[in-house]
Every structure is written in C-alpha cells, then in structure tokens.
Amino acid sequence: MHQIEPFSNWLQYYDSSQDENSPFFEKEYNYDLYTETIYGYYIDPAWDNFGSETLYLKTLYADYERGYGVLEFIGEWNDTLHNDIMTLKRDVLEQLMYKGITKFILIGENIFNFHGSDDLYYEEWFDEVEDAGGWIAAVCFPDFIQQEMIRHKLDRYINMGGTLQIDNWRTVHPARFCELVDTLIVRRLS
C-alpha cells in the first residue's frame, strides 16, 4: 500500500500546502518517513490525514473562481464505525465550501471498501452545494464501491458511474478535467 501515491502531475497547477484556503496549508511533507497507516499498512507520506483512521485524501486541484475541487482518496470509507463523511465534511469540505468550492470531484479508484450508515451528512452536503449551483461527482470509484453506495441510497446526492468512469483523467489538464465533469453532470441533470 505504501507504493500507492496520490496523483502528483498537477502539482505545477495546484499544491494544497501552498494554498492559504486549504485545510493543509503550510503542511510540510517528509517523503523519507512513513508514519501514517491504514490497518497497519504504511501509506505514502503525500496523503493527507483529515482525522479518519482508515481514509486519507489529497486535494489535487482547487479553482475558487469557478468553484471546482478535486479530491483523491485512499483507504476504507467507513461511516459505520468512524463516520468518515462527518469528519470529511466538518474538517475539509466546509472549509473549501466557505471559500467558494461548490463542485466536488471525488477520485475513488483507491478506495478499497465502503461501509455506509445514515445519509444525513451526504444530504446536508448535497443541499449546501446544490443551493449554490454545485454538485458532487464520484469519478473512477470501483464498481463494488458504487454498488454499496447505491445500496445506501447515496446516489441521490452523489453522481456516479456511467460516463463518470473517466479512466484517462490523469492525461487531462485539471481545468479541462473539471469542465469535462461539469459538462457530464449538466447532461445528466438536463
């Protein structure tokens, strides 16, 4: 697991440790020291801990003028034991929303498991971004994770599957990627 790194080719366009609006502003990374673990397995030091025991993230891109935020995840998304969505919403998403992010793109190809609970925080998040003309999109989540999320009725709040399985997202400039996802979401909502 320590070999799975967050996508870094967009660092030339955005670095959360250099963004004063980011919850991870001025964070210093020691790439020689592995300290964070998921179930006893070390993970790459570039991942950011937001308070969950089993889920880490990396803010890959934020465009406050256009309202886009791209977050990549690794680990187990566990709302049953750890209420990860509550921690994520309170400690990361709300800070970004306060600064103008209303369109969230979640990259989930490194999510290994999902344990759902109630949908209260998803509904709250959805209502807040929808009122501001935004949305939430899950890109490249594994099929079994999507099925589990659908089983917990989270597809009422998070757009997922179909055209949002954008396998070549890494080859696209971050602004164009956000525009592409926006276009796909608008088509779905029309």
Q: Where are the domains of the chain?
A: 16-189
The radius of gyration of the chain's CA atoms, rounded to the nearest angstrom, is 15
- pTM of the predicted structure, to 2 decimals: 0.97
Identify the sign of the CA torsion 22, 23, 28, 30. Answer: negative
For 16-189, which CATH superfamily applies?
STAS domain (3.30.750.24)
User: What is the greatest pairwise CA distance in the chain?
Assistant: 49
One digit per residue, the tens of pLDDT, for the chain of length 190 reads: 678 999 999 999 999 999 999 999 999 999 999 999 999 999 999 999 999 999 999 999 999 999 999 999 999 999 999 899 999 999 999 999 999 999 999 999 999 999 999 999 999 999 999 999 999 999 999 999 999 999 999 999 999 999 999 999 999 999 999 999 999 999 987 7
Measured at the CA of 103, the angle between CA 190 and CA 9, to 5 degrees, comes to: 120
Q: Is the dihedral of CA 70, 50, 126, 16 positive or negative?
A: negative
Residues 101 and 68: their CA atoms lie apart, in Å, by 5
